[in-house]
Amino acid sequence: TTHLDRALKHEKELKQGIALQEQGLPVPSHLFGAPTRKILDLVADYERSHTAKRLRQKHIHDTVTRIKTLAEVCNWEDLGDITPTGFEQWRGQVPVCERTGRELSAKTINEYLLSMRAFLNWLKKQGIIERDPLEYVEKCETRGNETKNRREWTDDELETFMRYGKPPHRADYRIGIWLLHWTGLRKNELQNPRWGDVFIDDGKAQAIIRAKYSKGRTSEQIPLMPKVVAQLHSMRPKKWKPEDKVLPFRLPGSEQFRVDQERAGLVYKNEFGDHDFHSLRYSHGHWLAVRGVPLLVIQAILRHKDPSTTARHYMNIAKLAANKTLEEVYASEGCTPNCTPLDGQEGLLRSQTVTKSGKLEVLQIAVGDALSRALAPFVTQGLNPVNGCPSLTLLGKLKIFSERIFAAKSC
């Protein structure tokens, strides 16, 4: 490119920018002569845009905070200051959290990068920038670098907390912990339901999580175990109103929960993981897996979009594997040829596993009688003939019948 070509290009871009300014339109920062755009001013516009789209306030706050923090520590004032080198230098200095003084985890650093890239993509859609300067920055490796692990609650630990975990000077929230463990709900989902959302009369056993309180922003039905139904009956006032909250108290923060556990003689954190609020949901998934509930059913009960999320984060695979050796699995009644014919008999769920060698092994897993009766109509009609697994549309049907699973499997 000659100097003349470059000058002509700059002249063209300058005229284009002047024309946009005369029309009251923003001038893309990549044009020659474009006015300098301050990052903080654009972040304010970004925040207003998210608020107008009715996104969750916590999501907006966390995203904006990460963008502002990253711009400050990297000394980025204008859009032109944002470079991959600046981010790499910050990441290479082992960044620490300003509030706690601890080193940021790989997952947290990735969240900073993703928040900034989401902001840059928004600027790109607005026509303010031509491309994302951080597009080719690679994320940190999180596998094997986890700093936040959770472990399941044992029956003895839950019983100990229910007996000795009463806080001395605050509302007694122990029943909330018990419900989190036996429903698999998230903390926010349990905090907000009203008695009008709970259906435990006339043989019904389910609760409704409203869309505004659900993580997926959709209304969801939650099956309830018989012991949970009995507990809710005992909790519900005689003169209850549909708009009354199920929990008339606020669940505490994680730090206070830790203090109350230690006061009860429990270990909050050890080398296997933490006992935070979400570990109760993790415990529910593991409890179901131990009792032989199929992965897809657990996925439906916990309302995950992807079964791999359920398998990776809501089961203790090591403990499940320790319960049976591989020889015992193949020799068990559920995997013998007599019990699992290849014609797809009713009441049997078929799953597929790809081994490291790439070979496809088809296993037939027998389920309990009550579970078979609940799922057989859909297993026989909803199987995908290509891979033998229920299609995603089956998950909605699994939710409807999952209370039967609790009736058959609960202790």
Which residues on adjacent β-strands are paired with residue 78? 38
For the domain 155-320, what is the CATH code? 1.10.443.10
Q: pLDDT tens digits for 25-56?
A: 666 665 555 556 788 989 999 999 999 998 88
Average pLDDT over residues 339-367: 39
Average pLDDT over residues 340-356: 40
Q: Tell me which H or E stretch contains 220.
A: strand 220-223
Please give the structure tokens belonging to residue 362: 């088809």
Tell me which amino acid residue 279 is.
S
Residue 101 has what pLDDT? 78
Please give the structure tokens belonging to residue 113: 């990068």
Average pLDDT over residues 232-258: 93
According to DSSP, the β-strands at 269-270 and 220-223 are unpaired
pLDDT band at residue 131 using 50, 70 and 90 as cut-offs: confident
Contact between 92 and 139 under an 8 Å Cβ cutoff? The reply is: no
Residue 331 has what pLDDT? 60
| Torsion angles phi and psi, residue 263, rounded to 5 | -65, -30
SS3 at position 390 = strand
Mean pLDDT, the chain, whole residue set: 78
Residue 207 has what pLDDT? 92
123: number of Cβ within 10 Å:
22
Which alpha helices (DSSP H) does 165-306 contain, by range? 174-183, 187-191, 226-235, 254-263, 278-290, 295-302
- What's the Cα-to-Cα distance from 240 to each of 95, 197, 233, rounded to whole Å? 52, 12, 11
Quote the radius of gyration of the chain (alpha carbons, Å). 27
Which alpha helices (DSSP H) does 169-225 contain, by range? 174-183, 187-191
Whether residue 7 is predicted with pLDDT greater than 60 in this model: the reply is: yes
As a whole number of angstroms, the distance between CA 245 and CA 232 comes to 12
Whether residue 343 is predicted with pLDDT greater than 80 in this model: the reply is: no
pTM: 0.63
Contact between 205 and 229 under an 8 Å Cβ cutoff? The reply is: yes
Whether residue 138 is predicted with pLDDT greater than 90 in this model: the reply is: yes
Residue 149 has what pLDDT? 84
For 306-369, give the DSSP string.
Answer: -HHHHHHHSS-HHHHHHHS-HHHHHHSGGGSTTTS-TT--TTEEEEEEE-TTS-EEEEEEE--H
pLDDT band at residue 199 using 50, 70 and 90 as cut-offs: very high
As a whole number of angstroms, the distance between CA 340 and CA 329 comes to 13
pLDDT band at residue 322 using 50, 70 and 90 as cut-offs: low
Residue 391 has what pLDDT? 42
Per-position b or e across 274-305, b if 16+ CB within 10 A of its CB: bbbbbbbbbbbbbbbbeeebbbbbbbbbbbbe
Which residues have a Cβ under 8 Å from the Cβ of 165 and sit 6 or more positions away?
174, 177, 260, 261, 263, 264, 266
Please give the structure tokens belonging to residue 301: 């009960």
As a whole number of angstroms, the distance between CA 48 and CA 152 comes to 40
As a whole number of angstroms, the distance between CA 342 and CA 233 comes to 46
Which residues have a Cβ under 8 Å from the Cβ of 383 and sit 6 or more positions away?
344, 350, 389, 390
As a whole number of angstroms, the distance between CA 338 and CA 332 comes to 11
| Torsion angles phi and psi, residue 210, rounded to 5 | -70, 155
> Which has more confidence, 21 or 366?
21
What are the structural domain ranges in the chain? 1-33, 35-147, 155-320
As a whole number of angstroms, the distance between CA 212 and CA 181 comes to 22
For 78-100, give the DSSP string.
Answer: BGGG--HHHHHHHHHT--B-TTT
Q: pLDDT tens digits for 265-312?
A: 999 988 888 999 999 999 999 999 888 888 889 998 899 988 888 888
Q: pLDDT tens digits for 155-195?
A: 999 999 999 999 988 899 999 999 999 999 999 999 999 99
SS3 at position 51 = helix
Residue 23 has what pLDDT? 76
pLDDT band at residue 198 using 50, 70 and 90 as cut-offs: very high
pLDDT band at residue 355 using 50, 70 and 90 as cut-offs: very low
Tell me which amino acid residue 186 is.
R
Tell me which amino acid residue 220 is.
E
Which residues on adjacent β-strands are paired with residue 208? 221
Residue 134 has what pLDDT? 92
As a whole number of angstroms, the distance between CA 271 and CA 150 comes to 10
> Which has more confidence, 235 or 375?
235
What is the Cα 50 distance to its own chain's centre? 21
As a whole number of angstroms, the distance between CA 186 and CA 197 comes to 16
